[in-house]
Amino acid sequence: MILEIIRAVVGFLLVLFIPGFAATYALFPKNDELDEIERIALSIGLSIALVVLTIAALNMATGMLITATNSLLVILLMTLALSVIAYIRRT
Amino acid sequence: MEINKKIVLIFSVLVLAAFSFYTTYTIHSSYHLPYHSDEWDHLTMAVEIVKKGSIVNYNPYLSDEYKKDLEVSYHVLLSELILMTGLDPVQFSIIFPAIVSFILSLNAFMLVRFITKSSFAGLLSGMLVTTMKSNVTLLGPWFMVPSAYGMSQLPLMLFVFVKAMGAANSVVAKKPLVRNSLMSMNITPAKTSEKISLINLWDVVLGLLFIQITLAHPPSASILLPVFALYLLMHPRLLYRNRFRILIFCVIAFLLLVNFISFAKLANIKSPLSFMDWLLNDTLVFTDEQYTYHVLYFYPIYLGSAILFLAVLGFYRNMSSDDKSRIIPIALLALLPFVVQYFEFGKSFFAEYRRLFMYNSELIMILAGMGLYLLYAIGKGIIGVYVKNDFLRKIITAGMLVLIAVALKNQADSTFFYSNRLYMIIGENEVGTIQWLGSNTSENSTVLAYPHVSKAITPLSGRRVLALTQTNLGSGKDEIDKANIFFQNDCNVKAGILNELKPDYVFFKGAINCPFLEEVYESKGSRIYKVNP
């Protein structure tokens, strides 16, 4: 039961928040460009857009299957790439 | 000071989360299944994507026949969330509306805070906006439908648009080639020292969000076009400064529009006049069939006079302020003519009337929150001038806050005003019987049930159906009529309809005594019958 709850929370965060949060730092690396609440709201909007559009595009263009493993890989790779961009832009 | 600010923000977010779960999730406290037939449709699409591992362009209830999915992004989002959370799809479908409602309140909070610089004003708007009433025709925050998602993104889009238009960190056209091309198109100043905005990072955000919303719920994106246009017309300086970027945006919007054009119809158009007629009456105009029913929803009845009064205050406060503050009243002004158009002609541009009604209500609610804050600020100002005693001043301020809290509680309870108009597609005790089909029949089996009950059969059992109520996904009227006649008539009529529709199983809540129908499962009064030739 606890594991299921943890998976659900992590799942929601992976689709609805984390990639977008990395994207906000990649796009607007300085803290003074967005305040905390603006960054959180934008993270949710961007996260949905990035995850959905990337997975839909990969499915249509390459035939990649929409499965939990593939989705997880895409989300993690996207977050990693955005985090690297954010790091480079911040430094 | 910095720590206090963070505590206020965390407190505000937690209050918004609790409030939106209260106003949205409460309806499921006694019924743990989706209410609306549209919710079942979207759930079916998402479950089919998970099952097939691919985007589907057909009606999963009936057959593999091609049917373009105009809300594909929404269905991919649902399927992603089902896959990543590991939740049972039905359980997910009653949690997700509360999450969307929270996103809506958070976005409203952020926009109002950005405009007023006050977290309290943002909190009031964020709370009020989640109290919009929903029912079977006003698809508000209660339901797992794309329109609710589109509504949640409206404040964010307004915020991003204002940011994009006012952004200073633009990429500048420095290269001579680019610059000269732009000059030849008359979109760049002639002086080389003068900077021109080509594109900035806010444009990227705006473009991404716009594409996502268009592919998830087209009307939620199309209503943004008149809003943006009116804002720019009322701020010609911004229009001039951003003309090249606006051009790019128009191209993106046009390319997205192409996605929805019926080329079969376009091919039959012979003259420019018929093209204009097709463009205006076929592509951009929406007609609501239940004209008289929807017109009943006048704003004062739906929102209440107090909300409208507060919204007028908020409207005044914003219109008499700076550029960015005007975005919400301008959005309201841009959409109101289409509401009036519907009242006058029974049809409206850009979106159906009931959607326009909801978008406008959302904006009115946000403005009402700002109006309430204005009243509070005025009251506090008066107390500051006339009440000299510190203790008394604190008592009166606390009294004002208690009054606001009571008003918000009443407003939250009014959210459930139309809840008695919700109907259930199936009873909770029927779920087990429907799921039995999924584990005890072959994958290609077809099931005959009442057309509205069929909405739940495919997502719960994975089996196809033959007659389906016409909502987003539906069957032909002929099949619906036959299914209704089947369940209301004797064995002779039943036999004739079975010969025509050829189902493998029949699902019915009650007993059927016909020799060609063999009862194979029964639970809590609902039964599965196998059709014997």
CA angle B26, B32, B36 (to 5 degrees): 85
Cross-chain residue pair B205–A42, CB shorter than 8 Å: yes
Q: What is the DSSP string of B414-448?
A: HGGGGGGG---SS-GGGHHHHHHHHHHS-TT-EEE
All residues of chain A having their beta carbon less than 8 Å from the beta carbon of residue B80 are 15, 51-52, 55, 66, 71
Cross-chain residue pair A56–B83, CB shorter than 8 Å: no
Model confidence pTM above 0.80: yes
| pLDDT at residue B383, rounded to an integer | 93
Other Cβ atoms closer than 10 A to B270: 7
Q: Which two tokens stand for residue B372?
A: 């309430």
**Which residues are within 8 A (CB) of B154 and not within 5 positions of it... i.e. 6 or more apart?**
B107, B220, B224, B331, B359, B362, B363
Nearest to B234 by CA among B117, B164, B329, B170: B329
| pLDDT at residue B167, rounded to an integer | 66
Task: Print the SS3 string covering B40-60.
Answer: HHHHHHHHHHHHHCCCCCECC
CA dist list (Å): B520 to B433, B440, B515:
11, 10, 13
Q: What is the DSSP string of B325-387?
A: GGHHHHHHHHHHHHHHHHHHHSEEESS-HHHHHHHHHHHHHHHHHHHHHHHHHHHHHHHHHH-
CA distance, residue B443 to nearest chain A CA (Å)? 21
Nearest to B349 by CA among B289, B292, B280, B297: B280
CB B468 within 8 A of CB B62: yes
CA dist list (Å): A3 to A15, B82, B286:
18, 16, 47
Mean pLDDT of A82-91: 93
Q: Which two tokens stand for residue B417?
A: 């005003």
CB B457 within 8 A of CB B468: no
CA distance, residue B55 to nearest chain A CA (Å)? 7
Which of B84, B125, B129 would best serve as a mutation to test chain A binding (most A beta carbons within 10 A)?
A: B84
Distance of alpha carbon B274 from alpha carbon B485, whole angstroms:
43
| pLDDT at residue B187, rounded to an integer | 44
CA dist list (Å): A38 to B11, B122, B163:
16, 12, 11
- ipTM here: 0.97
* Average pLDDT across chain B, whole number: 87
Q: Which two tokens stand for residue B416?
A: 């459930």
Q: Is B506 helix (H, G, I), strand (E, B) or coil?
A: strand
Instruction: Give the tens place of pLDDT for each residue, B15-32.
Output: 999 999 999 999 988 899
Q: How many angstroms from the chain centroid is the CA of residue B308?
A: 22
Percent of chain B with pLDDT over 70: 89
CB B497 within 8 A of CB B490: no
Cross-chain residue pair A11–B86, CB shorter than 8 Å: yes
- Region at B459 (left for phi over 0; alpha for psi -120 to 50; beta for the rest): alpha
- Lowest-confidence region among B75-79, B174-178, B352-356: B174-178
Cross-chain CB nearest to A38 (options B12, B114, B212) = B114
Cross-chain residue pair B77–A68, CB shorter than 8 Å: no
Amino acid residing at B173: A
Nearest to A54 by CA among A25, A18, A78: A78
Q: Where are the beta strands (DSSP E) in B277-373?
A: 285-287, 347-349
Cross-chain CB nearest to B83 (options A36, A48, A67) = A67
All residues of chain B having their beta carbon less than 8 Å from the beta carbon of residue A56 are 55, 72-73, 76, 215
Q: How many angstroms from the chain centroid is the CA of residue B467?
A: 27
Which of residues B244 and B364 earns the better pLDDT score? B364
CB B302 within 8 A of CB B323: no
Provide the chain B residues 2-21 that lie in CB contact (below 8 A) with chain A: 6, 9, 12-13
| pLDDT at residue B264, rounded to an integer | 63
Which of A48, A53, A69, A74 would best serve as a mutation to test chain B binding (most B beta carbons within 10 A)?
A: A48
Q: What is the DSSP string of B193-232?
A: TS--EEE-HHHHHHHHHHHHHHHH-HHHHHTHHHHHHHHH
Cross-chain residue pair A11–B85, CB shorter than 8 Å: yes
CA dist list (Å): B58 to A32, B51, B55, B256, B463:
47, 14, 10, 21, 15
Q: How many angstroms from the chain centroid is the CA of residue B501?
A: 36
Distance of alpha carbon B247 from alpha carbon B249, whole angstroms:
5
CB B497 within 8 A of CB B484: no
Other Cβ atoms closer than 10 A to B356: 24
Cross-chain CB nearest to B113 (options A37, A59, A67) = A37
Cross-chain residue pair B107–A52, CB shorter than 8 Å: no
* Average pLDDT across chain A, whole number: 95
Cross-chain CB nearest to B153 (options A15, A36, A45) = A45
Can you name the residues that pair with B508 across neighbouring β-strands? B527
Percent of chain B with pLDDT over 90: 59
Instruction: Give the tens place of pLDDT for each residue, B291-333.
Output: 556 556 677 788 888 999 999 999 999 988 887 889 999 999 9
Return the number of CB contacts < 8 Å for A and B.
Answer: 117
CA distance, residue A81 to nearest chain B CA (Å)? 17
Which of B103, B110, B112 would best serve as a mutation to test chain A binding (most A beta carbons within 10 A)?
A: B110
Distance of alpha carbon B267 from alpha carbon B301, whole angstroms:
45
Amino acid residing at B352: E
| pLDDT at residue B288, rounded to an integer | 63
Q: Is the pLDDT confidence value at B1 over 80?
A: no
- Lowest-confidence region among B177-181, B421-425, B499-503: B177-181
Instruction: Give the tens place of pLDDT for each residue, B204-224.
Output: 999 999 999 999 999 999 899
Q: Which two tokens stand for residue B132?
A: 């919009």
Which of B85, B113, B153, B205 would best serve as a mutation to test chain A binding (most A beta carbons within 10 A)?
A: B85
Other Cβ atoms closer than 10 A to B84: 22
